[in-house]
Structure 1
Amino acid sequence: MHALIAIQQQLLPDLLVVMRKRYLILRQVMLSDMIGRRSLAASLDMTERVLRAETDFLKSQDLLIIDAGGMRISEAGKRLLEEMEPFYKAMFGLSELEEKIRRHFGLKQVVIVSGDSDESPVTRRELGRAGCSVLRKDMKDNDVIAVTGGSTLAQMAGQLTSQAPLKNNLFVPARGGLGESLDYQANTIASTMAKRTGAQYRLLHVPDHLGEEAYTSLMQEPNVREIVEVIRRSRIVVHGIGDAMVMARRRRVDATVAEAMQAEGALAESFGYYFDRNGAVVHKMLTAGLRLEDIMETEVVIAIAGGRSKGEAIAAVMRFGHDDVLVTDEAAALEIASIIDKESAQQG
């Protein structure tokens, strides 16, 4: 495939430009469910005149359905997008980027979607869709799946589907509530994923971080202790990754503690732990839910995070070394690749 693409780039570069344009139009329409021509042109930074010609062609090929309500993708269009995805990745270097990051961090799989989640709602949605695809492939019957909170996981939850009800599977929150928007709390995400797939769910109604006395007291409650034991037996963990200082503010971490964390080089946060750029834990919060030792014993750990601003944070958590799969976007992946290249140059 790579040899054929190299030949096409030399002999028919315009063909690849047109192919990319039509691929992006179909993908945008699919992710939008239904969209008008003006909105589509704005989201693709394309003039309406150019877009009209392209969408008319795609309609003539039965790939788009256009009516008074707007545009939507046909079943044939969806199938074509699925078939084109590996070709598209190879054509624009995403396959090589995936392999570079996978090999450097010793991961089983890296999945990169095009775009920048910091800038594009479409990329955020595509990131969620890719996360759903990875999770569906890894899930088995009778699995317990623990999920963290956050906007990326919420995006993923809203798109998760299953061909058959997963009656024997159980979704649980990886930890207590974050104390922020209900939509982004781990409890909400676990219940949404369960409802959308016909699975079971259990919730953990405790604060996200606790003082030692509160933690000891809560863990003596039989109901809390029982659900925490279930959470810690999860076979799959799906987690987001955040900027350490942003997450510290959202979790209302004491200012003195936050300053100390920053002084120790805290760069990234995931499942309540704060990591420096080398992947070492510099701060942890006492919480009912998954502990670091549980993560280290979990069979499948899936990280999903994107956006150029998170490149360094993602690299830091990957250096921790207990993730199996990374789902990210092109902007974050390019930042991570740049970090890898700098390290290689320094070592060389």
Structure 2
Amino acid sequence: MRTILEVQKQLLPDLMDVLKKRYTILHQIMLSDVIGRRTLANSMQMTERVLRAETDLLKAQGLIEIDSAGMKISEAGHDLLQQLEPVAKELFGLSELEERIKQAYGLQKVVVVPGDSDISPFAKRELGKAGAKALGQVMNDNDVVAVTGGSTTAEVAEQLTPPTSLKGVWFVPARGGLGESLEIQANTIASTMAKRVGAQYKLLHVPDLLSDHAYESLIQDPSVQEILQLIRQSRIVIHGIGDAVEMARRRKLATEIVEELQEQGAVSESFGYYFNDQGEVVHTMLTLGMRLQDIERTDVVIGIAGGKSKAAAIHSVLRFGQEDILIIDEAAAEVIVAEME
């Protein structure tokens, strides 16, 4: 039997567009806590005049509050969003995207959030929220959770909430990361996640990229061996996915290595490994932390990334074949599904 939403889509397509627009505005105000009209208009690529008409209506309905500081969601607005959440994915066509990607790559679970992280900070925040929820659902007592660096996994850390009961959990960085911005280093993210859920953590104070001499020296260090042993006991790993060339340049790799990556067809980077579009490793960084065999042994691998620009990289890592749970945004999902077709 057809759902009422399917009937409305066919009979009242204009109404569905209005519903999607107003849901998105309300949802983004909720994610922002407080936001100005101009900032929201720019994020939604909407004129201030059009947005003002919509937010005036939402205010009249008691769904948002507007004062000199900006707009914020009301209690009634929160309640409405919660009521709409079960149908929101169908409304945006996200459920179909999730199922198609899940079946195509043999994943346990796919979560697609609305928007495009390339242009909207709200979409990235929603990715973080979905990642935090997914991580919370799979964590058990005495788990070791490894996490990579990056702005998206940092957003996951910010969105984590304390569980009702969870004992003996450890968070660790998946690899070294000194040299990156402090806020998005794996060490920082691991410690933030641990503090958010009341868990313990250990840090790996080594650079992301090592020379042969530094690697051989550090691998002999007892304190480094201790943290590596814990990292390799990880049952869960949550990681970001990067564009290969962008990540190589961000790490300030030599020009000849960047050119070599391009010649080898490197598309994505994750865990310190560079993959081509078939999911094959074409370059390995000399770094301390998780190895491919460690990743293959973990019970749950959660990949999280967003933005239309990341679609090829996400596809590449999916072809590698170790993902269990994938969390992406609508823009990336649409490109991946279009390529599948």
Structure-to-structure mapping, 1:220-231, within 5 angstroms? 220-231=220-231
Opposite residue 274 of structure 1, the aligned amino acid is Y
* Residue in structure 1 matched with residue 292 of structure 2 by the alignment: 292
How far off its partner does 1:62 sit?
Answer: 4.0
* Residue in structure 2 matched with residue 333 of structure 1 by the alignment: 333
Distance 1:165 1:56, change over 3 A: farther
Structure-to-structure mapping, 1:295-310, within 5 angstroms? 295-310=295-310
Distance 1:80 1:329, change over 3 A: same
Structure-to-structure mapping, 1:1-348, within 5 angstroms? 3-48=3-48, 50-164=50-164, 166=166, 168-341=168-341
Opposite residue 204 of structure 1, the aligned amino acid is L
* Whole-angstrom distance in 1 between the partners of 2:185 and 2:138: 23
* Whole-angstrom distance in 2 between the partners of 1:219 and 1:34: 48
Opposite residue 87 of structure 1, the aligned amino acid is V
CA contact (8 A) 2:178 2:205 kept: no
Distance 1:231 1:40, change over 3 A: same
* Whole-angstrom distance in 2 between the partners of 1:10 and 1:305: 33
Distance 1:287 1:325, change over 3 A: same
CA contact (8 A) 1:2 1:91 kept: no
How far off its partner does 1:53 sit?
Answer: 4.5
How far off its partner does 1:266 sit?
Answer: 1.0
CA contact (8 A) 1:165 1:197 kept: no
Distance 1:298 1:2, change over 3 A: farther
Post-superposition Cα deviations, 1:231-288, rounded to whole Å, max 9, x if no partner, equal 1111110001111111111222233333222222111100000101000111111221
* Whole-angstrom distance in 2 between the partners of 1:177 and 1:40: 34
Q: Secondary structure at the match of 1:158?
A: helix
Opposite residue 245 of structure 2, the aligned amino acid is M
TM-score (norm 2): 0.93
> Percent of pairs identical after alignment?
61
CA contact (8 A) 2:136 2:163 kept: no
Please provide the CA RMSD for this pair. 2.0
How far off its partner does 1:12 sit?
Answer: 2.3
* Whole-angstrom distance in 2 between the partners of 1:106 and 1:35: 40
TM-score (norm 1): 0.91
CA contact (8 A) 1:267 1:316 kept: yes
Post-superposition Cα deviations, 1:141-173, rounded to whole Å, max 9, x if no partner, equal 222111100111122222222244755221110
How far off its partner does 1:50 sit?
Answer: 4.5
Opposite residue 187 of structure 2, the aligned amino acid is N
* Residue in structure 2 matched with residue 344 of structure 1 by the alignment: none
Distance 1:335 1:66, change over 3 A: same
Q: Aligned pair count?
A: 341
* Residue in structure 2 matched with residue 346 of structure 1 by the alignment: none
Opposite residue 250 of structure 1, the aligned amino acid is R
* Whole-angstrom distance in 2 between the partners of 1:74 and 1:2: 33
Opposite residue 27 of structure 2, the aligned amino acid is R
Post-superposition Cα deviations, 1:70-95, rounded to whole Å, max 9, x if no partner, equal 32223442343233233122122211
Opposite residue 66 of structure 1, the aligned amino acid is I
